[in-house]
Amino acid sequence: MTGGLLGGLKRKLLAGESFFLTFFTCAAPQGRVAFAGPYPGKIISVPLNGQALLCQKDAFLCAIGDIDVDIAFTKRLGAGFFGGEGFILEKLHGTGTVFGHAGGTIVPFELAAGEKLKVDTGCLVAFDPTVDYDIVRVGGIKTSLFGGEGLFLAVMTGPGRVWLQTLPFSRLADRIHGAYKSDQGEVKRDLGGALGKLGNLIGGD
C-alpha cells in the first residue's frame, strides 16, 4: 500500500487505480515479467529522471525503478469541466521507466516553446508538466453541432512532450455496442424473413 492509507485511497477513489500496488523482485541474476493492457491498444515506455509525467486516469500500467503514483489537479476550471478527464490526472514522478497503456495507436509529439497543438479531448493520454493544458470551443455553432468532434478541443502549449491515442476506450465501447445492436437487428430481420417464408409454405400446403 504505497503511500499508506491516504495514498491508497487517492489512487483508488481519485485516480481509478488499484488500492494496492504489486511489486516484483527478481531473486536470481536475471528474470522476466510480462504485462498486457486491459483492452486493445498500445504500450509506451517513458524514462523519468527525477521529473514527473501527467497522464489520464487508468493510463498507468507498470514501472521499473523508484516511481511514485500520485494524483494532480487540472490548473484551470474549463479544463476540469470540459477536458474529458475531469479535474483529476495521474501524476507519475521519480527515477525509472514508466509504462503506460492507451487505445488504438499512440502518437507522440514534441512541442517547442509556445507551439500549440489542438486535439480532441478524449485522445489526450499524457504530457509533461511543462505543457500548458487548456480547453477551447470548436469553431462556430454549426461546427460544434454538426462537425462530429464535440463542443470542445484541448489546446496543448509547449514546451514539452505530448502523447495522443487514436481510439479512446469509451469510443471503442460505443463502437462495439453499436456493432452489437446492428448485428441484433440483422438477426431479427433474418429471423423474421425466415418465419415469413415458413408461414407461406405452411399456408400453401
| pLDDT score recorded for residue 203 | 59
pLDDT computed for residue 126 by the predictor: 92
Global pTM exceeds 0.85: no
Angle among Cα 50, 56, 62 to the nearest 5 degrees reads 55
Q: What DSSP assignment string belongs to 154-183? A: EEEESSEEEEEESS-HHHHHHHHHHHHHHH
Could you check whether the bond before residue 159 is cis, i.e. omega within 30 degrees of 0? yes
The CA distance from 150 to 172, in Å, is 16
Q: What is the pLDDT of residue 52?
A: 93
Task: Lay out the sheet containing 152-157: strands in order across.
Answer: 116-120, 152-157, 132-137
10-residue mean pLDDT profile of the chain (205 residues): values are 60 59 88 87 93 88 89 58 58 93 91 92 88 78 58 86 86 72 60 58 56
Q: Tell me what pLDDT residue 81 has.
A: 46
pLDDT value of residue 150: 57
